């Protein structure tokens, strides 16, 4: 059957062969597999060149591909004679980073993964020779480290990379990722701690909204989201760089020092009313669900909750060598034993030192030569 194809027909066509004109054909097998091929003549010989499958390549993209194939044919290039693209995985990755990743706020994370995981293993290979088996081995190596969340992100980054290679550059005719299932995240949400790479990506994606400032303050202080959202100007002592969380979860007020970045964030907020992080200043910040969705999208991170920023801060302090009592005081964890009645030290100097160290650690992650913990 010869005639113009439509997207609907391409999706629903019964087994058979369907022409679109100009040499473009669609073959539908008995199993439902849909394959694009280009029919052409070289001298007196008629040939067919299979170049992609649907839906990896849409009807519109298939038509564009055939236009290029016809142009090559006019130049004497036989589509069935394989010629090297001249692109190795490493050169393709670097060009993708330059043209795509570097244009994104969160482009540093995919660039790191593509370089350290894909290029590091298959950098010298021609991009046309990469198969699903090669990509599976990259994902398996990440999963073997117990980094299931990182494996899921690597899957997304590599999918975008190979789609770019196929649709934008025309270097490959099919995406090897189409044959690979997305990795499953096995980490329990309540144990979730953001990696150094995620912290850096999150921080660099921040804007100037009250919600962005709240995210930064939660990460810097380890405070509960209600403590930051309900913060009023009366609770802040900018002269002494202190903030007091009133009527906390434990039923008591709690004062902590402000690190340099936390102080700068608070000092930059406009005074619109009693509440600091509020559009009108008349009521506490709300809309955390929408905020989390937007921030995860902008930072290219996933699978974490607002409360995980508190856990990330506490774990970060622990990794920096801060003692357990200081961390408990920083986070406002109540002493469970009777001795707490007699131990009244407020730990303000220790907390200031700890949060300043944590602040410096975050800022160090933003430098170009930072070594990011996976």
Q: Of 168, 186, 204, which closes a domain?
A: 186
Query: pLDDT band at 248, cuts 50/70/90?
Result: low
Give domain status of residue 98, yes or no: yes
Q: Residue 219 has which token pair?
A: 């990460």
Q: What is the DSSP letter of 171?
A: -
- Per-residue pLDDT of 278-311, as tens digits, reads 877 788 888 888 999 999 999 999 889 999 999 9
pLDDT of amino acid 187: 46
The backbone region for 170, taken as left when phi is positive above 0, alpha when psi lies in -120 to 50, beta otherwise, is: left
Q: Measure the CA–CA gap between 103 and 80, rounded to whole angstroms.
A: 36
Strands (E), 315-361: none
Q: Residue 162 class from Cβ within 10 Å (0-12 exposed, 13-18 middle, 19+ buried)?
A: buried
Domain co-membership, 18 together with 62: yes
Q: Measure the CA–CA gap between 156 and 297, rounded to whole angstroms.
A: 13
Closest CA to 256 of 317, 304, 336: 317
Q: Measure the CA–CA gap between 129 and 125, rounded to whole angstroms.
A: 7
Count CB atoms within 10 A of the CB of residue 12.
Answer: 9
Give domain status of residue 83, yes or no: no
pLDDT of amino acid 254: 87
* pLDDT at 43 > cutoff 80: no
Domain co-membership, 279 together with 348: yes
Q: What is the DSSP letter of 118?
A: I
Q: Measure the CA–CA gap between 287 and 285, rounded to whole angstroms.
A: 7
Mean pLDDT computed over every residue of the chain:
86
Domain co-membership, 214 together with 351: yes
Q: Measure the CA–CA gap between 63 and 21, rounded to whole angstroms.
A: 9
Q: Higher-confidence residue: 112 or 342?
A: 112
pLDDT of amino acid 334: 67
Domain co-membership, 168 together with 223: no
Domain co-membership, 270 together with 205: yes
- Per-residue pLDDT of 328-369, as tens digits, reads 999 987 665 544 444 456 789 999 999 999 999 999 999 887
Domain co-membership, 147 together with 160: yes
Q: Measure the CA–CA gap between 302 and 305, rounded to whole angstroms.
A: 9
Phi, psi of 50 (to 5 degrees): -80, 130
Q: Measure the CA–CA gap between 257 and 245, rounded to whole angstroms.
A: 11
Query: pLDDT band at 143, cuts 50/70/90?
Result: confident
User: Is residue 2 helix, strand or coil?
Assistant: strand
Q: Of 155, 186, 217, which closes a domain?
A: 186
Range of the domain at 102: 89-186
pLDDT of amino acid 56: 75
Give domain status of residue 373, yes or no: no
> ω into residue 55 within 30 of 0, thus cis?
yes
Tell me how many domains the chain contains: 3
pLDDT of amino acid 2: 44
Contact status, residue 309 vs residue 194, Cβ threshold 8 Å? yes
- Per-residue pLDDT of 170-194, as tens digits, reads 888 778 898 888 887 654 445 889 9
Q: What is the DSSP letter of 125?
A: S
Domain co-membership, 249 together with 276: yes
What is the CATH number for 137? 1.10.150.130
Give domain status of residue 151, yes or no: yes
- Per-residue pLDDT of 316-335, as tens digits, reads 999 999 999 999 999 987 66
Question: Poorest-confidence range of 18-27, 37-46, 338-347?
Answer: 338-347
Domain co-membership, 261 together with 196: yes
Give domain status of residue 59, yes or no: yes
- State mean pLDDT over 133-159: 87
Domain co-membership, 357 together with 215: yes
- Per-residue pLDDT of 52-63, as tens digits, reads 888 877 888 888
pLDDT of amino acid 345: 66
Sign of CA dihedral 190, 191, 196, 197: negative
Domain co-membership, 238 together with 330: yes
Phi, psi of 93 (to 5 degrees): -60, -45
What is the CATH number for 268? 1.10.443.10
Instruction: Give the pTM.
Output: 0.54
Kindly give, in sequence order, each residue whose CB lies less than 8 Å from that of residue 55, ignoring residues fewer than 6 positions away: 11, 34
User: Is residue 71 helix, strand or coil?
Assistant: helix
Domain co-membership, 181 together with 196: no
pLDDT of amino acid 338: 43
Q: Measure the CA–CA gap between 328 and 367, rounded to whole angstroms.
A: 30
pLDDT of amino acid 249: 61
- Per-residue pLDDT of 249-261, as tens digits, reads 656 788 999 999 9
Residue where the block lists tokens 């298959």? 122
Query: pLDDT band at 68, cuts 50/70/90?
Result: confident
Domain co-membership, 213 together with 350: yes
- Give, for 159, the enclosing helix (H) or strand (E): helix 148-163
């Amino acid at each position: 059957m010869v005639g113009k194809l439509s997207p609907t027909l391409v999706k629903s066509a019964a087994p058979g062969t369907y022409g679109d004109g100009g040499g473009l054909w669609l073959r539908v097998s008995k199993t439902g597999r849909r394959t694009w091929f280009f029919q052409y003549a070289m001298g007196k010989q008629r040939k067919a060149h299979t170049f992609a499958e649907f839906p990896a390549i849409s009807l519109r993209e298939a038509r564009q591909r055939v236009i290029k194939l016809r142009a090559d044919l006019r130049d004497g290039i036989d589509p069935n004679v394989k010629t090297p693209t001249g692109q190795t995985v490493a050169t393709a990755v670097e060009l993708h980073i330059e043209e795509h990743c570097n244009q994104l706020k969160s482009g540093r994370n995919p660039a790191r993964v593509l370089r350290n995981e894909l290029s590091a293993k298959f950098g010298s290979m021609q991009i046309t020779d990469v198969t699903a088996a090669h990509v599976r081995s990259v994902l398996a190596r990440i999963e073997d480290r117990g980094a299931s969340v990182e494996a899921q992100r690597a899957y997304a980054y590599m999918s975008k990379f190979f789609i770019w290679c196929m649709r934008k550059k025309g270097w490959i005719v099919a995406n090897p990722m189409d044959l690979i299932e997305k990795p499953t995240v096995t980490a329990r949400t309540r144990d979730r701690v953001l990696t150094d790479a995620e912290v850096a990506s999150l921080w660099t994606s921040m804007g100037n909204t009250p919600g962005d400032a709240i995210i930064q303050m939660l990460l810097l202080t380890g405070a509960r989201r209600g403590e930051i959202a309900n913060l009023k100007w009366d609770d802040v002592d900018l002269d002494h760089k202190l903030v007091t969380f009133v009527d906390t979860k434990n039923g008591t007020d709690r004062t902590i020092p402000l690190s340099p970045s936390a102080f700068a964030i608070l000092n930059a907020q406009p005074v619109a009313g009693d509440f600091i992080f509020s559009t009108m200043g008349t009521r506490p910040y709300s809309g955390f669900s929408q905020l989390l969705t937007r921030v995860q999208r902008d930072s290219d991170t996933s699978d974490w909750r607002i409360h995980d920023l508190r856990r990330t801060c506490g774990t970060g302090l622990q990794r920096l060598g801060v003692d357990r009592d200081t961390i408990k005081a920083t986070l406002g964890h109540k002493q469970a034993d009777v001795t707490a009645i007699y131990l009244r030290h407020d730990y303000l100097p220790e907390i200031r030192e700890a949060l300043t160290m944590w602040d410096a650690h975050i800022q160090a992650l933003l430098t170009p030569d930072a070594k990011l913990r996976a």
